[in-house]
Amino acid sequence: MANNVNNPCKVITGKCRLSYAHIWEPSSMDEKSPKKYSACIIWPKSDTAMTKKVEAAMEAATQDGIKAKWKGKKPAKLKLPMRDGDEERPEDEAFQGCWFLNANSSKQPGVVDLARNAIMDQEEIYSGCYCRFSLMFYPFSSNGNNGVAVGLNNVQKICDGERLSGGSRAEDDFDDGYMGDGDDLGDIM
């Protein structure tokens, strides 16, 4: 679970929860913004190893920004990607006791299972499942805003989780053993 030795801005996460999943089709916040693949990545505050990796990658990207984007000095107001779920999403149970960040890419991420086989079934990756992510932290300077953003490289599904979309699967809704009775077919014909 170590950062990439060759690039301190790259992080391979541990087990995180996927939310706001736009892995298969790009989307945008509004009509003016370009469509991108994206994911909100949630991890418990108790996972201090993950938190330290993200903090180290943010610092490395900040140093890159000082050298290449911000004229040799750290901007006074620097936007950082790691956010506190308890402060920013107190009403959302999925974010309680957790850190989160948003990652995106103009290129579709690779998606694999635990055995590193490509996942083609779009139903397999959804908001609420648990994954590992390959992320790249980088500095930005745009329209007077300076900060560190996160690129989404690849996704590895670890296991299923409760869906966060609020919807349910048909398989679960109708898992009550009902097999019909002889009169059911007559009612629909």
For 121-131, the pLDDT digits (tens) are 999 999 999 99
- Mean pLDDT, the chain, rounded, equals 90
List the beta strands (DSSP E) in the chain: 10-12, 16-27, 36-44, 78-79, 83-84, 98-105, 110-112, 130-142, 145-159
Over the stretch 48-92, which tens digit does the pLDDT of each residue have? 999 999 999 999 999 999 999 999 999 999 999 999 999 999 999
Question: 5-29: per-residue pLDDT in tens?
Answer: 589 999 999 999 999 999 999 998 8
pTM above 0.85, yes or no: no
Handedness of CA 143, 150, 106, 162 (dihedral sign): negative
SS3 string of 94-140? HHCCEEEEEEEECCCCEEECCCCCECCCHHHCCECEEEEEEEEEEEE
Neighbours of 178 (CB within 10 A): 8
